Each structure stands twice: as structure tokens, then as C-alpha cells.
């Protein structure tokens, strides 16, 4: 039997590759971590507005949540690795000047 026609996997040699290894995990078009962090911040803001200003004002942070999620989704469509680039830019530790010895 030619090798190309073999369909059954050989135990210990072949395995399925999970999508999470080669494809980014997104929640409604936004990286999962950023989506969760943004949602928690908006819910905390909504709770603050509810306690401080009342029921009507507590809907304002939830509306802003939708706008912010749209911005995050646009960033993800524009550059799928925008958060890695942001973290790399923030992690740079260069001196502003160097003294000659």
C-alpha cells in the first residue's frame, strides 16, 4: 500500500493539532485577555456610577464598553498582534543618554 493512501494514524507518531496552537483565541473579535479586562473595567465603572449617581447614569459605562470593544476589534483587524507590539514598546529600557568613558 502506498504511503499517501494510509489514513489511520500511527499511535505515538501522529496527533491532531489543536487550533489554539496556530490560531489566536478571540472573544467577539478581540484577544481574550483584553476583552475580559475591558469588560471587568466597564462593569466596575458601571457599579461605581450606580452607587454614586443612580440607575440612569450606570448605563453610561456600559455604552462606553461597546465603543471600546469596537476600538479593540478594529485594532485586531488592523494588526492581529497589536498587543504584543504594545507590550514590547512598553518593556524597552533604553537610557536617554550614554556617557563616554
pLDDT for residue 3 is more than 60: no
Tally of domains in the chain: 1
The domain containing residue 77 runs over which residues? Answer: 30-91
**79 domain-assigned:** yes
**14 domain-assigned:** no
Q: What is the pLDDT of residue 11?
A: 73
What angle do the packed helices 59-78 and 32-53 form, to 10 degrees? 160
What proportion of the chain, given as a percentage, has pLDDT over 70?
85
**81 domain-assigned:** yes
**What is the pLDDT of the chain when averaged over all its residues?**
85
pTM above 0.85, yes or no: no
pLDDT for residue 25 is more than 90: no
**85 domain-assigned:** yes
Give the pLDDT confidence of 47-79 residue by residue, as tens digits: 999 999 999 999 999 999 999 999 999 999 999
Amino acid at each position: 500500500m502506498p504511503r499517501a493512501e494510509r489514513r489511520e494514524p500511527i499511535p505515538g507518531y501522529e496527533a491532531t493539532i489543536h487550533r489554539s496552537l496556530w490560531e489566536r483565541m478571540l472573544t467577539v473579535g478581540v484577544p481574550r485577555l483584553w476583552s475580559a479586562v475591558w469588560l471587568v473595567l466597564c462593569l466596575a465603572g458601571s457599579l461605581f456610577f450606580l452607587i454614586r449617581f443612580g440607575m440612569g447614569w450606570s448605563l453610561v459605562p456600559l455604552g462606553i464598553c461597546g465603543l471600546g470593544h469596537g476600538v479593540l476589534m478594529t485594532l485586531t483587524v488592523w494588526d492581529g498582534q497589536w498587543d504584543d507590539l504594545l507590550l514590547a514598546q512598553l518593556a524597552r529600557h533604553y537610557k536617554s543618554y550614554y556617557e563616554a568613558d
